Amino acid sequence: MATRINKYLSQVGYCSRRVADRLIEEGKVAINGKIPEMGTKVEEGDQVEVDGQRIEKSTKQKNIYLAFNKPVGIVCTTDRRVEQDNIIDFIKYPTRIFPIGRLDKPSEGLIFLTNDGDIVNKILRARNNHEKEYIVSVNRPINRDFIQRMSNGVKILETITNNCFVKQLGPKKFKIILTQGLNRQIRRMCESLGYRVQSLKRVRIMNIELDVPTGKYREFTKEELLELNGLLENSSKTFD
């Protein structure tokens, strides 16, 4: 059965569909030696290459799901040629995996890595309202007004952020739970209110909490994966 090229690259565990779309746009993908258009389908027997490397579908591929505690300074990219401090070289996992979403370079904490491209879109799509929890420290004391304004939505990137849960933990520290994934959202929200983030750690994604030392990873437990799949059942379906 024919499969869209971005879905094919996701299914074989090469990268997420989002990254596949970018690779296609950049002309780095070839089907039978020709550069495809977005949406081109791969037929049985077609030869797919990325940057000249043959990509083959394995029927024995085991799905991998990792919870990794990203250190500050590591970049969530699979492009090892562009960024030396990339997450793939840091982890050195024996088979190809890629991160689900990202944490920016100055941030730390929980990020998932997988070779299961189908799970990526369900987790990332903002309309699925999947919670991500962060602990944040800023450069000066916060107060009730700051907490309320952060909770009720802040204007950034020509939009108003969704209402969210925010709780003060200390003079300059707070917890925030987001269901959005805007670029550098927490940092931009704080900057909009006149604060600067000094440290930002993600401590939970959906049902999975950060419980490994900095720079270490572990596999999801069977119970976590079952619960995660249950939470994803009602998520928007991935595109074919």
Dist CA 128 CA 100 (whole Å): 15
The DSSP result for the chain, as a single string, is --EEHHHHHHHTTS--HHHHHHHHHTT-EEETTBPPPTTPEEPTT--EEETTEEE---TTPPP-EEEEEEPTT-B--S-TTT-TTBHHHHH--SS--EEES---TT-EEEEEEES-HHHHHHHH-GGG---EEEEEEESS---HHHHHHHHH--EETTEEPPP-EEEEEETTEEEEEES---TTHHHHHHHHTT--EEEEEEEEETTEE--S-TT-EEEPPHHHHHHHHHHHTTSPPPP-
Q: Which residues contact 190 (CB under 8 A, 6 or more apart)?
A: 136, 138, 150, 196, 197
The active-site residue, picked from 51, 79, 104, 211, is 104
Question: 117-124 and 17-25 are packed helices; what angle lies between their axes, rounded to 10 degrees?
Answer: 100
SS3 of residue 148 by DSSP: helix
Active site residue 104: yes
Active site residues: 104
